[in-house]
Amino acid sequence: MKNFSTLIQCRRSTRRFTEELLTPEQTASILKAALMAPSSKNKRPCQFIVVEDKKMLEQLATCKPHGAGFLAGCALAVVVVANVMESDVWIEDASIASIYMQLQAEDLGLGSCWCQIRNRQDAEEQDAAQHVRALLHIPYQLEVLSIIGFGHKARANSPLDESQLPWEKVHIGEYQLPNTQEV
Ligand SMILES: Cc1cc2nc3c(=O)[nH]c(=O)nc-3n(C[C@H](O)[C@H](O)[C@H](O)COP(=O)(O)O)c2cc1C
C-alpha cells in the first residue's frame, strides 16, 4: 500500500495490459471505491456496469474512433452511468466515482485508463453514449459519462515529475494575469 502522495504521483494512464485477469477481490475493491465516492446532496445518482466479457470489451472499444481502443485489451471495464433525473450535477458525481476507482486500482498495483464517452462521437458521428447504451441495454434516463478500463500493467508507468508541475496555474490571494512582458 502506498501513501496518498505517492499514490497520486504514480497514477498514470495505463493503456497496455497483460492477459492476467483481476481477482474477484480486486474487482470488488474497485467497485467499493465507486460506491464510496461522495455525491452532491448524497443523492448517489451513479450506477456501474461491469464488463469482463472479451467480445463486449472489443465492441466497447469501437465506441469512438480515437482513445477507446485500449478497452479491447483490458481485463475489466466499468461503464459509469448516472440518472440525470436524480441529480443536476451528475457529471461531477460520476467523475468523482470514476477517479476514485482509478486511485483504488493504483493502490492495488493495477493500471487503469479513463475513456471519455460524454460529448464524444463514434466513427459514424453518432453519439458515443448512444453506441454504448445500445450495446449494454442501458435505459434512456441514464447518461453515460465514462468507461474506465482496468488490468495488470504491461509495464510500469513513470511517476509524474514534480519539477514539471505548472505552478503558474496557482494564484495566491487573487487571480494574477500572466506576465506577458518580455524581460
Ligand atoms: C476526463 C478525462 C477523459 C479522458 N479520456 C480519455 C480517452 O478517451 N482515452 C484515453 O486513452 N485517455 C483518456 N484520458 C486519459 C488522459 O489522456 C490522461 O489522464 C492524460 O493524458 C494525463 O496522463 P496520465 O493519466 O498518465 O497522468 C482521459 C482523462 C480524463 C481525466
Average pLDDT over residues 90-108: 98
| Ligand 1 within 6 A of CB of 9 | no
Question: Percent of the chain at pLDDT above 70?
Answer: 97
Whole-number pLDDT of residue 145:
98
20-156 is a CATH 3.40.109.10 domain: yes
Instruction: Centre a 10 Å sphere on the Cβ of residue 150 and count the other Cβ atoms it contains.
Output: 25
Give the amino acid at 162.
Answer: E
Q: Which of 92, 101, 102, 100 is nearest to 41 (CA)?
A: 92
Which residue's C-alpha comes closest to atom 3 of ligand 1?
A: 116
What is the atom index within ligand 1 of the atom nearest the CA of 99?
31
b/e sequence 11-42, b meaning 16+ C-beta within 10 Å = bbebbebeeeebeeebbebbbebbeebebeee
